[in-house]
Amino acid sequence: MRRKISLFAAIAVLLLSACKSSSNDPQPSMNHEPVLTTTAQVILNTYQDLSQKAAKLQETTVLLRQVPIEAHLELARQAWREARSPWEQSEGFLFGPVDQEGLDPSLDSWPVNVSDLQAVLNSSHTITVEFLQQQEGTLKGFHTIEYLLWGEDGKKTVADFSDREFEYLEACAGALAQDAARLYELWSPEGGNYISNVINAGKGSKVYVSQKAALEEIVSALGVIADEVANGKINEPFSQKDLTLEESRFSANSKNDFANNMRSIQNIYLGQYEGEGDTANSLSALVSSLDASLDTRLKEHIQKAIDDIEAIPGTFSEAVFSHRAEVQKAQQSVRDLQDLIEGEVLPLINSIK
């Protein structure tokens, strides 16, 4: 009896060992929470910078209205450029509250509805932040402020402003600052805490059922902005030779917009904003662990897209007619980047456990 029991035990151990060594067993899933935490922090830091710089822009428009001199007009223009930078660097992640709460069109609708804007200026409405927040996006946001600061031909002086334009400008900058602050607040752990939905993906997140789902949305958004720059922002004015289709043409800031859109991809991929972040737990580190060659190529493509955009001579308005080869080269670099993101990086992310 005793010997018989030992034999049964030996058979059981062998069966258990066989089961453990089966190649059909699922492999353990990787924990991507550190990568998601790094990515979410880049997003939060970008929105914090946007909120602070939009508040600064509002301050300069108040000063310009109080003391309308050329130096204060230039201060307001520079504050617009500085606030514009983090916004464009956020367009690689246009998901979450910026989309769900309608903040994207409120902040950045294009083109400006100049006829309706003029109608408001000619009316008896008191122009306040509250009034503008009830209007369509084409009557507020970055580009309405840009139009008021630079004018149609980019040559506006303080003497060209009417009292109503100063009133509209101050209220419009106030509405922009309010939207930017709300966007940051919605992501902040101390506010709407949307950031927790990304960090806790697959672990109680109300948005993402898995970490893979969150990573897929993040990478997909990078492809979306590359597509928009190559086939929308650059292509439409370039192919139609129509500058009314050029975003940020009043301020001649279009090239900066395009390059900062590429930096939004770079920031998310490298896990840093303004040179600070956790690159060891970035999307780049994850891709490198799976395909080091792809990681290297993607980083090279991002930098090439930035370099080729910045190498376009003069303003984009001038280049549409006078430097078409350089524009075409930059456009192709962005298209190549889009192809790499959508054709190789996204499938790699789709394949992870």
Cα 326 to Cα 238, 321, 330, 332, 339, distances in angstroms: 11, 11, 6, 10, 20
Place of tokens 């889009």: 338
DSSP three-state, residue 302: helix
Least confident of 21-35, 51-65, 172-186, 301-315: 21-35
pLDDT tens digits for range 107-125: 999 999 999 999 999 999 9
pLDDT reading at 13 higher than 60: no
Q: What is the per-residue pLDDT for 139?
A: 97
**Tokens (6 digits) for 7:** 């034999």
Cα 347 to Cα 136, 226, 341, distances in angstroms: 38, 17, 9
pLDDT reading at 188 higher than 60: yes
pLDDT reading at 19 higher than 60: no
Place of tokens 């927790």: 196
Q: What is the per-residue pLDDT for 67?
A: 98
DSSP three-state, residue 272: strand
Phi, psi (degrees; rounded to nearest 5) at 205: -60, 140
Q: What is the per-residue pLDDT for 135?
A: 96
**Tokens (6 digits) for 232:** 């929308």
* Residues 174/144, Cβ–Cβ less than 8 Å: no
Cα–Cα distance, 287 to 297 (Å, whole number): 11
* Residues 107/138, Cβ–Cβ less than 8 Å: no
Any idea what the Cα angle at residue 55 is, between residues 317 and 77, rounded to 5°?
A: 30
Q: Is the dihedral of CA 149, 152, 154, 156 positive or negative?
A: negative
Cα–Cα distance, 195 to 189 (Å, whole number): 7
DSSP three-state, residue 278: coil
Cα–Cα distance, 183 to 205 (Å, whole number): 19
pLDDT tens digits for range 131-169: 999 999 999 999 999 999 999 999 999 999 999 999 999
pLDDT tens digits for range 268-286: 999 999 999 999 999 999 9
pLDDT reading at 288 higher than 80: yes
Cα–Cα distance, 273 to 260 (Å, whole number): 12
Residue 79 confidence class, pLDDT cut points 50, 70, 90 = very high
Cα–Cα distance, 50 to 341 (Å, whole number): 26
What is the DSSP annotation of 234-299?
A: IHHHHHHT-GGG-TTTTTT-HHHHHHHHHHHHHHHHHTEETTEE-GGGSHHHHHHHH-HHHHHHHH
* Residues 147/120, Cβ–Cβ less than 8 Å: no
Share of the chain above pLDDT 90, in %: 91
> Which residue in 299, 95, 77 sits closest to 186, CA to CA?
95
Q: What is the per-residue pLDDT for 18?
A: 38
Mean of per-residue pLDDT scores for the chain: 93
279: which DSSP letter?
G
**Tokens (6 digits) for 74:** 């230039």
Cα–Cα distance, 88 to 265 (Å, whole number): 11
Q: What is the per-residue pLDDT for 56?
A: 98
* Residues 136/175, Cβ–Cβ less than 8 Å: no
Cα–Cα distance, 286 to 148 (Å, whole number): 45
pLDDT reading at 72 higher than 60: yes
pLDDT tens digits for range 201-260: 999 999 999 999 999 999 999 999 999 999 999 999 999 999 999 999 999 999 999 999
Q: What is the per-residue pLDDT for 30?
A: 87
Helices 324-340 and 254-270 cross at an angle (nearest 10°) of 20
